[in-house]
Amino acid sequence: MKHAPAIALIACLVALWWRAVALSGSVIFPGPQAVAAGLYELAGDGSLCRHIGASLMRVATGFTLAVLVAAPLGLWMGRVPAAWRALNPLFQIPRPISPIAWIPLTRCRTASSSPSSGRPAAANRH
């Protein structure tokens, strides 16, 4: 059975996860059984598909914006030296900031307009 090592590794990681939560007594981090129950509940009421769809829509929107805006802008900057000199500093300023640090800012920006933001529906209304 060629998948036995992968299955054994996953089983060990889940056991380690369960043990860490059990030993810590954490109420913040759920154990594997709570995650599985939540996944079953979300799949049962259909909201899992809505959340996955919302996430895929965000990815598609970002990719589309990159193709329509960023790629032509980059090609233009590469072709026209004056455009490079004018715009390059604007792109270099946020570069040292870790990409993971942008996630909370993006989350705050999109949370109020997203149907799958994790906030109550009443909080999404303006």
Distance CA 4, CA 73 (A): 49
Query: For the residues 72-92, what does the mean pLDDT come to?
Result: 96
Same domain, 20 and 79: no
Same domain, 26 and 62: no
List CB contacts of 48: < 8 A, sequence separation 6 or more: 39, 42
At 36, list the tokens. Answer: 């599985």
Same domain, 35 and 54: no
Which residue in 116, 103, 124 sits closest to 56, CA to CA? 116
Sign of the C-alpha dihedral, residues 93, 98, 104, 106?
A: positive
Same domain, 31 and 84: no
Same domain, 41 and 59: no
Same domain, 72 and 119: yes
Same domain, 125 and 91: yes
Distance CA 120, CA 126 (A): 13
Same domain, 114 and 54: yes
Same domain, 63 and 124: yes
8-56 pLDDT per residue, tens? 999 999 999 999 999 998 889 999 999 999 999 999 999 999 999 999 9
- Kindly report whether the global pTM for this prediction surpasses the value 0.85: no
